[in-house]
Structures are given as C-alpha cells and as structure tokens.
Amino acid sequence: MATSDQTAMSTSAKTPAAEAAHPVDRSSWPLWEVFVRSARGLSHVHAGSLHAPDAEMAVRNARDLYTRRNEGVSLWVVPASAIVASDPDAKGAFFESPQGKDYRHAMYYKKSEGVKHL
C-alpha cells in the first residue's frame, strides 16, 4: 500500500488554515505525488510532491522539478487525495503479524547449510 507524506498529513494535521494577511490570489491547486522510474527495468519510486491545477501541468511540472538531470525515463503523478494510507495511529499493531514467523525466511532453515545450490 502506498503511503505519502502529504496524505498522512491530511489525516493528522491539526493546524487550521490561518487567515491570510491579504487575500490569496488563487484557490489552492491540488497536491500531486510524483513517482519517477529512474531506468528501464526499475519500479517507479516516490520522489516528492507538487501543486498543479491539472494532471497535464502536474506531469510537466514534475519533469521540471524532479528530472532536471536525467533522473527518470517515466513519471507518474497521482492526486494525493487518491492515495489510501494505512492508519498512522495503528503504529506497529497493523504490521505485527510477521513477528515470530521467522520460518517465512530462508535463513530459518539451518540443517541444509553446506548443501550446494540450495
């Protein structure tokens, strides 16, 4: 499951948008999370986020912001609001089940040590 900094924030932010000293001249643009594939054969990896009015501008801005030095061959932009994150308050509880299940790892099986190609 993908998590993102900003999505997580939106569930926990306690600071209300304060009154600006003078009116802000644009309604705030949605937040997009940016994922960059650095080379063919690799996954897209979360690089950061940006604000943009629509998907097309988000892709263009992502190119300018996150791939100025050939860092990517492909970009994904995802509206931050579309990302579903695991409950940040669950802390470890949500991920605890693998504990005590060492047998899921190859290292658990010692008797076969020294056997070739195993």
* From candidates 2, 82, 88, 94, binder to other proteins by CB under 8 A: 88
57 — phi, psi (to 5°)?
A: -65, -35
Partners of residue 35 on adjacent β-strands: 46, 76
* From candidates 2, 42, 45, 53, binder to other proteins by CB under 8 A: 53
State the sign of the Cα–Cα–Cα–Cα dihedral 78, 82, 83, 89: positive
Total residues binding other proteins (CB under 8 A): 35
Residues 57-86, mask of contacts with other proteins (x by CB under 8 A): x------xx--xx---------------x-
> DSSP character for 25?
S
27 in contact with other proteins (CB under 8 A): yes
